[in-house]
Every structure is written in C-alpha cells, then in structure tokens.
Structure 1
Amino acid sequence: MPTDSFVHETLGQRVILEAGGAGRHLTAEVDRLGAARIMLIAAEAEAPLADRVAAGLPVALRWTEVVQHVPAELAERAREAAARCRADLLVTVGGGSTTGLAKAVALTSRVPIIAVPTTYAGSEATAVWGLTEGRHKSTGVHASVLPATVIYDSTLTLSLPVGLSVASGFNGLAHCIDSMWAPGSDPINRALALEGIRVLAAGLPKVVADPSGIEGRDECLYGAYLSAVSFASAGSGLHHKICHVLGGSYSLPHAETHAIVLPHVLALNAPGVPERGLRIGQALGGTEPVAALDRLREAVGAPRALKDVGFEEADIGDAAARILPVVPASNPVAVSLPVLEDLLRAAWNGGRS
C-alpha cells in the first residue's frame, strides 16, 4: 500500500535493558563517557536505589530536591549547584520529574545525562524539556536534553506501588495514542506507537496480578521506551496539550492526569481517523478503541476522575480557555471551547465526553 510522503527524524541514544544490571551498566557508561564529577539526581524516596546503582562512582554532588512539573526556581538552583561542583555528567535515578530536572540543567550547561528510570514515564527517551513558572508550563525541544544513555532495570521498579505503576503505564499509553495523530505523526512513529500500546496493554495486567514479577515490569519498561520514542518524533498532540495545562496551571499529579484524560481524547479523536482508531483498538486487544481502553482501565483499576486528584469543577471554563490556543491545528477533529469544556467535565466526573 502506498505511504504518504513524510520526513522522520530518529534521535541517537544508547538504550540498555537488563533486569538487575543497572549498577554494572551505569559503571560501564560512566567509564565510556570519561566522567569524573557526577551530579546524582534522585529524590529522597529513591535514595536506596540511587545508592545501589551508583555505588563506587565519582559522585561530586547528591541532589534530592525533585518536584513535578519542574518549577523554574528549582531548575535555577540545580543549575547553580551543578556549576559549583563542576559536574561533567548528570545521572538520574527516578521518574519523569527527576529526568525533567536533569534536562533543565542540561539545557543550559550542555552536561550529558545518563537516565536510570524507575517508572514508565518515558521522558528519558525524548528531547523535550518542560519548566513551570507561576501557573504556566513551558515546553521545548533541544538535542542537549536527550539523555546520552538510558538504562532500564525492572528490579528498580519493584518498589513502585501498583496504583502508581498503572497510572505511569497509562502515561505511556497516552504518549502512544497521542502519537497516532500528533502534528509530526508518520508511518514510522505510528508503528512504534502501536507496538508500545500492545506491549503496555499486555504488561500492565501482569504487574497488577503479580507486583513482584519481572516479566510484566520488563514489558512496561519496553513499552514506555517505545511510547517515548514515538512521541519524540510525532510531537505533542491534543492530549498532551490538555495535560500540560492541567498540570502546570492546577498542580495536578502528572501520571494520574494523563491516565484520566486519555479515554476522553481518544473518544473525541478516533472517529476523525477511523482506520487509526481501529488499529489502536486492535493493539489494545479489541476492535473499537474506546471500549478496548475501557476494558483495560477496568482490569487494572486505572484512575478515572479529575475530581479525585484535586481538580475543581469551577476551573473547567478557565482550563478550557487556557487549552484552546495551544490545540494543534492538525488535530483530526475540530476543537472549540464548548468541546473542551464538555471533555473536561466528563474527565472531572469520570464519565464519557
């Protein structure tokens, strides 16, 4: 079948996946990059994991202050600390907020990053950075923030609670589904996205059924990587525009917000590109995409309502007005203020838009 013309950019990055291998691979990567003064970024909750994987490495500074959505003032403090300790490598152990802080440092310092993820956020495989100032979240793309190496080790995710594992996995699904119609969507990133959907849909129920098992967590890490690579190429679609506003303006939790909003954007957009909607449904193990996603949400107990994570019904109008100017022109269906308000109200109460 003929393929539409497209331009696809592939990002260069070393990716390693081995259960139990993080410490050994991190040591080898530090040696390969010739680093002598590491800034190790890991929140207090991740300190035992950071100790485990970075033992014996030349750590010049431990940084433990990590906040979701990367406040600009925090980024500036971390940049100053990196300069003072003359860091020549940033090593992150943690989720998307941890990786995001390292990206903020790398954006101005050009110091390389090695990311050791402990969630399924996917930030580690993109060149996208984000900073929040006041109630506004800014994002951008720059090659300097793409980690030089990503080391996936599913044993590091065993302490991630099942509920957060599910929300984080749905964040990965959101990367995949948004990539099916984002501004830079093309046949290559859609193929990666569909495989990411399939793998995450298979892995998440295994994590729920056996939280101490490695197979499901390996699948989720692999799926998270695929989701991020597809998103890095396709760019930010309607779903991510909505969630960036909700997170940055109302301080909502990142993964849970993505999990809650996703089915409503899927229900809105899939009818506009029915062939892609069918492929999403098939990757989820069904045919009709929204029904297939609902079955997965029910099976794993995914978050369902924005009112449960701190979003106020009174803010729906304000949020819709903030989102409308950033809606991609290429979105497969027309989006207006009433459409956004209906979608947000459905997401607020956990119903269908």
Structure 2
Amino acid sequence: MSSFEYNQAPLRVVFGTGTLSKVPAELERLKAFKPLILCTPEQTFQAEKVENIVGSVKGITPVGVFSKATMHTPGNITDEALEFLKSSGADSLVSIGGGSTTGLGKALAVRTGLPHVSIPTTYAGSEMTPILGETVGGEKKTRSDPKILPTAVVYDVDLTMTLPPGLSATSGVNAIAHSVEGLYAQNGNPIMSLMALEGIRSLATSLPTIVSSPSDVPARSQALYGAWLCGVVLGNVGMALHHKLCHALGGSFNLPHAETHTIVLPHALAYNAPAIPEVMQKLAEVLPGSDEDAIKGLNVLLTKLKVKRGLKEFGMKESDVDKAAEIATRNPYWNPREIEKEKIREVIRRCWEGEEARADL
C-alpha cells in the first residue's frame, strides 16, 4: 500500500427523517440564539418554515431571512448579505437549500467567524467541504480553509421529497463527480476511496428510481446518504480536470452548476482514462450497466436519468468554446494526465455539442 496522509476536519452531522425539528437543539449546542436564515428566492417558504421552528423555542430569536442566494456565489450578493447580517445583530447562520445557499453561508461564515448550520435540500454535497467558490468580475475562483466548513449539517430526507426528478438527477451526478475525482486525487487515501465508491454506488442505484418514482422514500434516503459520502470526499482530497472545467464554464458563462457537472463528468473521465486504469476498473464495478467500461456506465446512467447532455442547451455559444479552453487551461489543477490545450478544447466542444463520451483523445 502506498504511503498517505489522512486528516478529518471536525463537523457534526445529524441524519434522518424529520430532523429539521432538531435545528433549535443544534443552535443551543452552539450557544447561538440569534440566527440569520439564508435561502434562494425560490426557497423562501422553506426558510420561513425554519424560522418558525427555531423561533418557537424559548430563548432563540431569528433575526430574519436573507433570500438572495445565487449560484456561483457572486461577490455583490455576498456583500449585500454581509451588510444585512451586520445590521441584524445575528450571532449565527442557518442555510437551507442547495449549493448556492450553502455557498453564501460559507462566504459569510469565513468573513465573520460565525457558526454555520447547513440544511441541504439537494444532493450537491457542498455542505461537507471547506471549499468556497466565488465569482467576481465574471470569473470563478475557489479557496479552501477549515473556517469555511459548516459547523453542523442537518440532513432531513423529508426535505428532498419535493426535489424535482430532473434536479435530483443533476445534483446527484454532481455529487458523483466529487467522488470520481476523489478516486484519482493526488492526495487521495484508502479511506476516501472507500467512501467514494460507496457514495457512487448509492447514487448510481438510487437516482434512476427517483426519476421514475420521485416519492420513493428508501431511494431518497439512499441518495442523500450517497451525497453525504461524496461531499466528504470532496472536502478531504484535491480535485482535478473535471472541477477545473466546471469552474471555468460555470463562472465565466453563467451556466447552471449541477447541470454543467453532469455534462462534463463523462468527458473529463474519458480524457483521464488512459492514465487511471485501476480507477476505471473500480468505477465500472459500482456503475450498473457498465459491462466493465466505466465510461459506458456513466453514459448509460445519464441516459436513464433523461438529463440534457449539451452545454448549448443552457445558452453557451459555440464561439465560447475557444475562450473556455483558454480559461480552463490557465493555471490548471493537478491532473493524472497532462493537460493539452487542443485536446481540452475538443473535450469542451463535445460537452457543448452534447455528444456521448468516448476515450479517443
């Protein structure tokens, strides 16, 4: 076995059904009595539900709801939320939603040092990472800091029951992407690899059921469990080409986060396949329908999930492909295969066109 280092950041997790009712206890444990609740405009009703639950407990007084969380965590929204927070006198943060809301909670927590309780409603996994991606001046940049990691995470399967099948599919594949890259990360280790494979297996088997039967509780529970594991992987090891491509595409062309990860994943894996034969074999074993070919397994999964496969379907122009290749190959992340600009351009073109992934570059 190769040598490795393993660090585990402290983070409390509450997982189950009906666990939203435990949020007040988490705040009390943190000695936080004036929480600011964060959400997107579309999830105000969920934030208000949290506000009511928390506010019904003696001694806890929510200071309000900030409902402008936006994908890719734009700097101007963070600045506005920070002013709202300071004027409210909040002593803590509670975010409810997907990666956009979690990202805003992280941005505020790292700037203020306030405790952050994250309540995920999708399968993105951002809540388990000390990583923050922020967009300023049309370009998305990421940083990692233990202070970014939420203080506690409350997983409530009930909150995912109304997540539309399409969004369930893409946010789940987004989570799978975290674990796929974790399997060949430069600083990977056996513990993260075990979590990665279990997370991928859980999501790859449950997501097709959710798409066909959205109210299937066991499938929803299995998917949320898988997303948790994939998020842990993302938070503990480095990422490579896939995430660099998604950050470049999402931050520079305002493409939807989960959908972009879904489209890019099989193509990024296909590019790296020649350099990671052992990983490809392990992946094939946990992807149903792979026939010992991990790329085929991902193509089969995306077909079952009925997701869109082309970036052009989300507004990206063909003329943007060259610019995207330039951004994606500038200051590249570590990657198991050498980054070649012209081949990366072709990867992006295939993502734009919506072609099935193939390992021929």
Q: Does the aligned pair in 2 maintain the 1:42–1:92 contact within 8 Å?
A: yes
In structure 1, how many angstroms separate the alpha carbons of the residues matched to 2:51 and 2:229? 26
Are 2:324 and 1:327 aligned?
no
In structure 2, how many angstroms separate the alpha carbons of the residues matched to 1:303 and 1:168? 13
In structure 1, how many angstroms separate the alpha carbons of the residues matched to 2:7 and 2:253? 33
User: 1:97-142 CA distances to partner (integer Å, 9 max, x unpaired)?
Assistant: 0000011111110101101111111110000012101111111011
Match of 1:8 in 2: 6
In structure 2, how many angstroms separate the alpha carbons of the residues matched to 1:45 and 1:158? 16
Are 2:256 and 1:253 aligned?
yes
In structure 1, how many angstroms separate the alpha carbons of the residues matched to 2:208 and 2:336? 30
5+ long unaligned stretches in structure 2: 55-60
Q: Does the aligned pair in 1 maintain the 2:74–2:135 contact within 8 Å?
A: yes
Q: Does the aligned pair in 2 maintain the 1:189–1:231 contact within 8 Å?
A: no
Q: Tell me by how many angstroms 1:248 deviates.
A: 0.6
Q: Does the aligned pair in 2 maintain the 1:120–1:224 contact within 8 Å?
A: yes
Counterpart among 337, 341, 353 of residue 337 in structure 1: 341
Are 2:350 and 1:346 aligned?
yes
User: 1:271-293 CA distances to partner (integer Å, 9 max, x unpaired)?
Assistant: 21111111011111332100111
Q: Which moved more, 1:311-320 or 1:54-63?
A: 54-63
User: 1:144-184 CA distances to partner (integer Å, 9 max, x unpaired)?
Assistant: 12111111111111221111110100100111111112332
Q: Tell me by how many angstroms 1:76 deviates.
A: 1.1
Q: Which amino acid aligns with 1:223?
A: G
Q: Does the aligned pair in 2 maintain the 1:307–1:348 contact within 8 Å?
A: yes
The TM-score normalised by the length of structure 1 is 0.96
Counterpart among 26, 30, 47 of residue 50 in structure 1: 47
In structure 1, how many angstroms separate the alpha carbons of the residues matched to 2:31 and 2:346? 53
Match of 1:310 in 2: 315
Counterpart among 139, 143, 148 of residue 140 in structure 1: 143
Q: Does the aligned pair in 2 maintain the 1:260–1:303 contact within 8 Å?
A: yes
In structure 1, how many angstroms separate the alpha carbons of the residues matched to 2:180 and 2:123? 15
1:33-44 equivalences under 5 Å are 33-44=30-41
Match of 1:291 in 2: 296
Q: Does the aligned pair in 2 maintain the 1:241–1:326 contact within 8 Å?
A: no
Are 2:198 and 1:195 aligned?
yes
Q: Does the aligned pair in 1 maintain the 2:242–2:264 contact within 8 Å?
A: yes
In structure 1, how many angstroms separate the alpha carbons of the residues matched to 2:91 and 2:248? 34
Q: Does the aligned pair in 1 maintain the 2:326–2:341 contact within 8 Å?
A: yes
Counterpart among 6, 25, 30 of residue 28 in structure 1: 25
Q: Tell me by how many angstroms 1:56 deviates.
A: 4.1
Query: Percent same amino acid at aligned positions?
Result: 38
In structure 2, how many angstroms separate the alpha carbons of the residues matched to 1:60 and 1:9? 36
Secondary structure in 2 aligned to 1:115? Answer: strand
Q: Does the aligned pair in 2 maintain the 1:263–1:293 contact within 8 Å?
A: yes
Q: Tell me by how many angstroms 1:61 deviates.
A: 2.0
Secondary structure in 2 aligned to 1:59? Answer: coil
Counterpart among 12, 17, 21 of residue 19 in structure 1: 17
Q: Does the aligned pair in 1 maintain the 2:40–2:100 contact within 8 Å?
A: no
Are 2:178 and 1:175 aligned?
yes
Secondary structure in 2 aligned to 1:139? Answer: strand
Secondary structure in 1 aligned to 2:63? Answer: strand
Q: Does the aligned pair in 2 maintain the 1:167–1:303 contact within 8 Å?
A: no
Q: Does the aligned pair in 2 maintain the 1:116–1:151 contact within 8 Å?
A: yes
In structure 2, how many angstroms separate the alpha carbons of the residues matched to 1:29 and 1:54? 14
Q: Does the aligned pair in 1 maintain the 2:125–2:227 contact within 8 Å?
A: yes
In structure 2, how many angstroms separate the alpha carbons of the residues matched to 1:201 and 1:239? 18
Match of 1:112 in 2: 115
Alignment RMSD (CA, Å): 1.3
